[in-house]
Amino acid sequence: MTTRQGRRPTGRSLDDLQQAWCAIGDAARDRAPVAGWTHNFYRYPARFSPRFAAAAIQALSRPGDLVLDPYMGGGTTVLESLAAGRHVIGSDLNSLATFITKVKITGLTLAERRALRTWAEHEVPSFTYDLPAEDVSAFIDESKTRNLSLARARFIKKSMAAALASIVELQTSNAQDFARCALLRVAQWALDGRKRHTPLADFRDRLARTTHEMLDALSGFAAHVSDTGGRATLLNTDAADLPRAAAFADSRSRAALVVTSPPYPGVHVLYHRWQVDGRRETPAPYWVAGCNDGQGASFYNFGDRREAAAERYFETSLRTLLAIRGVMRDGGYVVQMVAFNKPEEQLPRYLENMRLAGFSEARVDATRELDEGRIWREVPGRKWHATLRGKTESSREVVLIHRAE
Ligand SMILES: C[S@@+](CC[C@H](N)C(=O)[O-])C[C@H]1O[C@@H](n2cnc3c(N)ncnc32)[C@H](O)[C@@H]1O
């Protein structure tokens, strides 16, 4: 068996590669809901499966290697790298992504855990919307609560303000961020895409329960990572700026493996908004997380979905790929999950960008279940918006595996 390039990537036998492809392919097609570790602290849009990230890390890196995810989103690769004892750098230009990933991987002291359990048991049941405006107005950021005064959101909004007011009483920033993340998770459930009003009692019960569940999950994860010795650095950076990040200043800090999922051409994902009351968008996630809101959807999607030729998408993609290559070790691998709304036009352009950035595709011939040596998967119930016109094919994703030349 040979790779499509007709030569064998150094350092690995073809049997190893064949096995790697099969393991990554099986994991990529896994349709089980996201579960495990602290993955469910937030439902980050377009997240990929932890099993996929874990399979790529196991197959194409070794303990102690540096793994990079330049578009980390909810931190799936970061968590699985830590769990596997790798050093990992996770970066994203969305401050919400950095916030969520930080909470998912930051262990808490016994005192912090106790304070959070007390908060869940004694404070959360008292959250109400029946509060004097002066008690909560200091906690309502008008610029980040747009559309939360709509009918299905307004009672939850006041309860969220009450929650934010009580969170500042927690003694440490790690405990406060953890509580904000629990609130974020539950408010997302209560508001985002919800067709009916969420009763306040359900909101409070769920917040208390979620806080306890998250604390249990974090304790298990932190204990495991202290055994594996994994280490993480998180950045809130445009991928194009990675070579200038202090984390890569030392030329020995080069990634052996990138496991990632970039924005998709022609596919518009709402990373930065929830939709309330008939699809009206709110920036409330940034209000709850206490982060800066990064602007419009085009900021997070490599450009505007209305640009027919997606020129800006491919320009931005090339700029970021060159930067990623600049922080990788020669011979390292990039494993990425991508979708295209017009695969016949966009896949060749995407592959050309990879080539221009210094990567060669590593496909394995004649492997069962592979389509032209590539792994494709159907996307179950994905919530995104493809181009405004025409039929979309973006319900299929492809796994691309490249080697840094
Ligand atoms: C498909 S999501 C990644 C999801 C992630 N794999 C997970 O499991 O949660 C793509 C991410 O790319 C980020 N992003 C978009 N443009 C970027 C850029 N120029 N530099 C860094 N991150 C960017 C978005 O904010 C988004 O979080």
Task: Give one DSSP letter per residue of 334-374, joined into a string.
Answer: EEEEEE-SSHHHHHHHHHHHHHHTTEEE--BTT-TT-BTTB
| CA–CA separation, 60 and 148 (whole Å) | 45
How distant, in Å, are the alpha carbons of 44, 51, 275, 347, 361 from that of 353? 27, 27, 34, 10, 11
Residue 170 has pLDDT above 50, yes or no: yes
Q: Which of 123, 190, 116 is nearest to 162 (CA)?
A: 123
For the purposes of burial, counting CB atoms within 10 Å of the CB of 160, is it exposed (0-12), middle (13-18) or buried (19 or more)? buried
Residue 5: the pLDDT is: 42
Ligand 1 centre to CA of 299 (Å) is 10
Task: State what percent of residues in the chain have pLDDT above 70.
Answer: 90
Ligand 1 centre to CA of 260 (Å) is 8
CATH code: domain 14-106+231-279+292-404 is: 3.40.50.150
For residue 224, the one-letter residue type is H
Nearest atom within ligand 1 for CA of residue 76: 8
- Reading the block at residue 295, the tokens are 């602007």
Q: Treating both helix axes as pointing N-terminal to C-terminal, what angle do 76-83 and 95-105 enclose, rounded to 10 degrees?
A: 30
For the purposes of burial, counting CB atoms within 10 Å of the CB of 241, is it exposed (0-12), middle (13-18) or buried (19 or more)? middle
Q: To test ligand 1's pocket by mutation, which of 40, 286, 300 has the most ligand atoms within 8 angstroms of CB?
A: 300
Residue 195: the pLDDT is: 84
Residue 309: the pLDDT is: 54
Using CB distances shorter than 6 Å, the residues near ligand 1 are 44, 46-48, 70-71, 73-74, 76, 92-94, 97, 238-239, 261, 263, 271, 300, 302, 320
**pLDDT, mean of residues 201-210:** 97
Q: Where are the domains of the chain?
A: 14-106+231-279+292-404, 110-224
Per-residue pLDDT tens digits for 54-88: 999 999 999 989 999 999 999 999 999 999 999 99
Strand pairing partners for 400? 336
Residue 308 has pLDDT above 70, yes or no: no
Residue of the CA atom closest to atom 22 of ligand 1: 92
Q: Please give the torsion angle defined by the CA atoms of residues 19, 221, 397 and 308, in that order, rounded to the nearest 10 degrees.
A: -140
